[in-house]
């Protein structure tokens, strides 16, 4: 017996280009198609299937289409909700789509479900505070239920773990129930797989199936896991998806023209890549303008910046307009996790209606900070 573990698909997220929205849809279709090819018995979606709790119609129809395709092939689907697709009211498209139509089974309420001799228990994403405390109490119940089950036991969550990601700030591995043979988790966008001595089986994050709109362009693999549970041990196998090419390049200004021409010669015009370019030792922007403009004509998205030897700090931004992750990283590195957490969880959301104004204020203060450190 085997199953697929897919997470953080973020379907329906707003992109600057329609082709990037199509990339996410294609990655989702590919993950479902490979699951069918591998003849898995069921699929687990560990949260953030949609990017918002009120997804656009196209995204809803795509998910319904793919879930029905799984069901047509005799494959069951199970899911929990992440913080992005958690419903604000009961009248929400996601719960109705999955549960009421019978194409998927909801695990987010913590009620145990069985697929043949496999026990599945899950919980939707929980925020810090009382909500998270309630989840920790639920974990004790989950462990008692798992202890009484002889077959495989799968825990499905959408939570960040400090042991996996420094900025997750929600739970630690030691907080999790101990009696499960597989921990199917979502939220962190990079795939991760590890066996901890305190847990009964592997802890796995598939990561997102595509680079999200909040992430910069980077060379990274995306995919999901197919997990073999034919024996007593759960054995995850990473399945990489065939995504649009992406390149990270750091070149000296004197080599820029040659490197740009070389990259252009390798580009398939039917699948234009995403490129992140850093140009070193630039004295005047006019020195690189022609090569940048030429490269922009051949790629789908280009994020570029310059760097000189005397720069102590750099701000790297593309044209996406979503800079939350970069600012959180910079804040944590420069003022520490406690102040950064206060700023982003308490202050920043209150001012978040005009991000362009916030961006200018932060950049101005950051430039003053740089100038002060150079004195």
- CA neighbor of 234 nearest in space, from 161, 158, 153, 157: 153
Q: Supply the pLDDT for residue 40.
A: 98
Amino acid 98: pLDDT: 63
pLDDT < 70 stretches in the chain: 87-101, 129-130, 167-169, 309-375
What pLDDT is recorded for position 205? 97
Checking phi first, is residue 227 left (phi over 0); if not, alpha (psi -120 to 50) or beta? beta
The per-residue pLDDT for 370 is 54
Q: What are the angstrom distances between the C-alpha of 245 and each of 10, 14, 268? A: 20, 20, 9
Q: Going by DSSP bridges, is the β-strand pair 105-106/76-80 parallel, antiparallel, or unpaired?
A: parallel
Domains of the chain and any CATH numbers = 2-240 (3.60.21.10), 244-310 (3.30.160), 323-375 (no CATH)
Looking at residue 334, its pLDDT comes to 58
pLDDT of residue 144: 96
Look at residue 102 in the predicted model and tell me its pLDDT. Answer: 74
pLDDT of residue 215: 81
pLDDT at site 214? 74
Which pLDDT belongs to residue 126?
Answer: 87
d(C-alpha 120, C-alpha 180), whole Å: 9
- Give residue 353's pLDDT: 45
Tell me the backbone φ, ψ of residue 248, rounded to 5 degrees. Answer: -110, 120
pLDDT recorded at residue 312: 43
């Amino acid at each position: 017996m085997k199953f697929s573990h897919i997470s953080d698909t973020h379907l329906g997220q707003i992109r600057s280009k329609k082709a990037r929205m199509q990339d996410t849809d294609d990655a989702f279709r590919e993950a479902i198609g490979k699951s069918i090819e591998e003849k898995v018995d069921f699929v687990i979606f560990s949260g953030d299937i949609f990017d918002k709790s009120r997804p656009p119609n196209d995204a809803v129809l795509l998910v319904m289409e793919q879930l029905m395709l799984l069901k047509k092939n005799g494959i069951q689907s199970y899911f929990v909700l992440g913080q992005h697709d958690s419903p604000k009211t009961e009248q929400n498209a996601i719960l109705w789509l999955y549960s009421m139509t019978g194409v998927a089974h909801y695990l987010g309420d913590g009620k145990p479900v069985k697929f043949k001799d496999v026990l599945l228990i899950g919980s939707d994403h929980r925020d810090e505070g009382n909500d998270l405390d309630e989840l920790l109490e639920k974990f004790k119940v989950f462990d008692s239920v798992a202890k009484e089950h002889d077959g495989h036991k799968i825990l499905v969550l959408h939570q960040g773990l400090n042991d996996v990601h420094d900025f997750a700030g929600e739970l630690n591995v030691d907080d999790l129930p101990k009696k499960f043979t597989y921990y199917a988790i979502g939220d962190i966008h990079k795939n991760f797989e590890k066996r901890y001595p305190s847990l009964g089986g592997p802890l796995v994050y598939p990561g997102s199936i595509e680079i999200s709109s909040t992430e910069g362009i980077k060379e990274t693999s995306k995919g999901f896991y197919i997990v073999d549970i034919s024996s007593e041990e759960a054995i995850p196998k990473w399945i990489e998806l065939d995504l649009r090419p992406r390149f990270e390049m750091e070149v000296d200004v004197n080599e820029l023209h040659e490197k740009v021409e070389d990259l252009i010669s390798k580009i398939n015009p039917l699948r234009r890549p995403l490129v992140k370019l850093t140009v070193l030792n630039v004295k005047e922007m006019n020195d690189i303008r022609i090569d940048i403009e030429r490269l922009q004509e051949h790629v789908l998205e280009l994020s570029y910046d310059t760097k000189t030897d005397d720069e102590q700090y750099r701000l790297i931004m593309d044209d996406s307009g979503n800079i939350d992750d970069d600012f959180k990283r910079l804040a944590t590195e420069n003022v520490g996790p406690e102040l950064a957490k206060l700023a982003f969880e308490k202050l920043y959301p209150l001012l978040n209606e005009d991000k362009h104004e916030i961006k200018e204020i932060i950049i101005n203060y950051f430039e003053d900070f740089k100038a002060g450190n150079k004195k």
